[in-house]
Structure 1
Amino acid sequence: MIKYKIFHKLLIMLAVLLVPATLLFAYANQTSENVVKETLENSASKQLEFTMQRLEQSLRQLEIQTLLLVNDSSIKAYASSWEFPEYVNHLLMRKNVEEKLILQSQVDSLIHELTVYWPASEEVISTSDQADFNRVLLSHTPKNRWLVRKEEGQLSFHLYFTNPSITKPDLSNVVSIVETTFTSDYLRSVLEGLDSSGNGNSFFYFPGGELIANDEVNGNMISLLEKKNVFNYTSSSQPQLTVLEMDGVEYLIQTIHSPSLGGILVSYIKINEFLNPLNHVNLLVNGSLILLFISGVAISYLFYRHFRIPFGYLVRKIENLGAGDYTSRATVKTNNEFDYLFERFNDMASRIQALIENVYEERVRTQEAEYKHLQSQINPHFLYNCLFYIVSMANKSPEAVISMAKNLSQFYRHITRKAGTDTTLADEIRLIESYLEVQSMRNKRLRYEIDIPAPMLEMSVPTLLLQPLVENAVVHGIEQKRESGRIRIIGVKVNNQFRITVDDDGTGLSSEALQALMNQVHNRQSADETGCGLSNIHHRLIHRFGPESGLSFSTNEWKGFRVTLQLSYRTQEESVT
């Protein structure tokens, strides 16, 4: 009985992964949003509180300077300078007061104007050219605190200190009055510093709806803030937080009261602008979760459609095939569907292995037939020539007959002993030497040179690897050109490969003929005897030493023919070197 477990386990695992992951990401997103909001609120609140503290400190400093100025001895003395007998002293004292006012206004950039009034003499000294004495205005103006005036469409802020501080309504007991004035430009610079912190925009709100701002403020926001009584929070020195929604945009509003000026410093931040990157990340995460869930469902369906159903069908088919004489090989038990598949797979593997072995043996037999066919091509031709030489030299030179017979016997002894098996390169060289000695007796022009490094002589190679190449050099090269007669065999090692070249100074081949021979040999064509022998050697090398091995052909420096054997001999590299 087949047990179907993997599919159910996959569904359970997928649910166990997706559900906690979804809940965890949702909680993380909410937590991140709360942290960002809280951080934003704290940062804006601290920045607003710090800005107001600096403003109040500047106003306190200005009040102290004004108080010191109203009690200055030279200002007091100037009130009675008209009683001096000399008018020059009066002018000198006035000049002294003017210099003090100018110096004081230049020291503090907050001061816009400084003015001193003397009610008794109705005199005025000011840093402004437009100052004049107005008793009615001075008598009705609040003293010892800041007041706001709107002049020429712009707000200005004034502070009056008197000497003495307690005054009569008609100012008859007042010696002097000092007025300190600054404009809304200073408050705009304060707002600019607050806005540069990057937490939003800000403005000052004063009773009566007067605003000071660097940027245009939405009137709907002012109406909404007035409707929510946001501007009535004047008792606390800490920023007050309000969250409002307007035109689909959520704003974080923070307000703090200025005790000195009586206005409200308002900072408003578009929460959505700060949460947009986080919302974008949340959108990507949620999209990824949805995609992951859809992918999980799709994978489950595909797994069911392309594995569960075909596997049941395969089981039924295998049971039908199992009626044959198959044996089991698998010993590992997985306790799932693959147990049954393993059992049937072992049966198929046995048959596949048998087929592979049959094909391999057939290939070996085919290669052996090619090898023996090569021998049948080489041996008769060579033997006939040698016997004809012996017959022709029997009466002329018995020594030549003996040498020929000796080398010929060594040659065939080597072939008979090594036929169909591997040999060393040293044995192949000895075979070639015997062959070339025989050929040199027949052709007195023949000279040969063999230079193979000693380490290469120990390598194992197929038999009759070089002899057909040397025979081609003699028969198709040297014997076709009267003045030729040189054969050179050189072996070298290049990286992980051995290279053996066989050169002759025979007729050689043109570039077109070389290319045609290359195609013929590599494609295993056998249009003539030479092509068949070279093709067999080429494919024997590939079969034995790998696809990087084989034959290549070129023209040498003698304008003759060169055959290069490439052998990738990694398996015996260490022993050879």
Structure 2
Amino acid sequence: MSIRRPRQWRLTIFPKLIIAFLLVIAPIYVIGLQMNRLGESSVREELSKSLKSKVDFYLNSLEVENERMMSLLQRYVVDKDVQHLAFISNTMTIGEWSEAVLRIQDKLEVIKGSSLYVKSASAHILTLKRTLSTEKSISDTLDEEYEAVASVYERKGPGIFYWKDRLFLAVAYPGSDLPGMQETFVLSIELNLETLEQSLLTITDYDNSGAMLINSERNWSLKGNGNAEMVTELAHFLDERTELETREGISQVSLDGSLHLVAFKHSPTFGYDLVAYVPPEQMLGSIEKYRNLLWMLSFISLAIVVAYSYWLYRLIRKPLYKMISGFRKVEAGLMEPMVLPKSNDEFMYLFQRFNMMMDKLKVLIHEVYEQKIRAQSSELKQLQSQINPHFLYNTYFILYRLAKMNDNDSVVRFSQHLGEYFQYITRNASDDVPLEAEIRHSRTYVEIQNIRFAKSRIEVDFGELPEGCKDMKVPRLIVQPFIENAYQYGLESRRKDGRIIVAMVLSNDNLFISVEDNGEKLKDADLLKLEGDLAEKGKDMEFTGVLNVHRRLQIRFGAEYGVSVKRGEMGGMRVTLKLPFESSGKGNNNEI
């Protein structure tokens, strides 16, 4: 087939693509230069850094305050006056008792005056069922505020508690969690939420902006500004950041129906997130006019892209679509030549080569591929058919022996197991069966052999099927031949304590099935010969027993799968089948 060359260089695809890209890039480049001079991106970046720096500074300051308050609580929770009042108040005189109460109240006042964020400080003495506080002195009963911090005994240290729109810091006496100890006393601080919310307002000074503190459990929040809907939206945004393991940064988030610039940071020490949000237009101010240039750029680019796309469709996509359609027909098995395009360019050459490839491919499929498939299918059927007669010979010989011995009960049981065996072989025409059925068939074979060999003579242990492997499809008769070999070659002459172990293990998306016996007749030379036969890929050798199954597995799954042999821990042969794990479930990754 002759190929006509393009008459002129300008008729090829290459110069047309160059012109098209120049038409797209030129206006974008000119307007892009103007936008770069205006520096919108630079201003936005600097303002974003400023907002994030404010969040970092405020959160660090708040953590310092919280740590100082926590430190005071931990310091006074081991105070001698509080301990004496809690443990030995019944041995104190009235004067000693009064002086201890006054000293404790003075220390609570110290805690209250330690920070502007402290509203009140309290000591709940559970052994006395009384509460000392900076607001109510000493009460006759435990104050209701104790309900807010009662769960502090479940923690190994101080904690933050939200109760009835109030926020507390609390710590329990450190010995209360010891075995046999009762709950003794709790020191708590109520935080001044109004002061905290006022301080949040100082983070941002833009209109429609604000800041919030939201705890990790999302069950309380402090708003410097904003509404409940914004709290919900920000909590959802923080949950997404938590899943992505991004606990601090700056991002754009839709809040209350409009886009906001959000800076956020998590406090791992106290379990809350600080979030500051600002509408971008408030930060960028006069830069809004630059956005109009961006819209202009977008409309111009859109018009150019539409025109360019239509032209590109006419030049490239239409013939390319025809070529893709031709390849899809090949995938579907329809190897038809494609109609040559009218244009005299590179596509003409591609279409001609495609048609030539189809002609050669038809020849290759006819002469090579189909013949190989037939040969492989014939070999598979031949290998499978070798197993059934071998087992049939042995079973009829056993039945003959039982009948000759007039052991009618064993004949009945043996015939039942034999019927189940042949029902498994002949019940359908499928070459593949569920792994559970294959193992059940092997157990039936063992029952047949138990009639031949006493259980006390040879014991067979079957391991559990790994989870998700029951419905895994495998070729028929891949386990029973190895159990038969163990009986025949490993344990037939053994008079007692014979043992066969069948194990199934999942590892790295592969299923390993091993059959091991404790026979004493295995020689190193025989083992080396069998390993060599398994590695041999010649087609003139006779495939029986181990080699039969090995060849079938390689035909079915590929060369990396099959059978391997070695000497087992019990001294006999250990045969291992490697199969790909073909199931929707996943097993445990254990090594054999």
Shorter-chain TM-score: what band?
Answer: 0.3 to 0.5
State the TM-score, normalizing by the size of structure 1. 0.41
Larger Rg: 1
State the TM-score, normalizing by the size of structure 2. 0.40
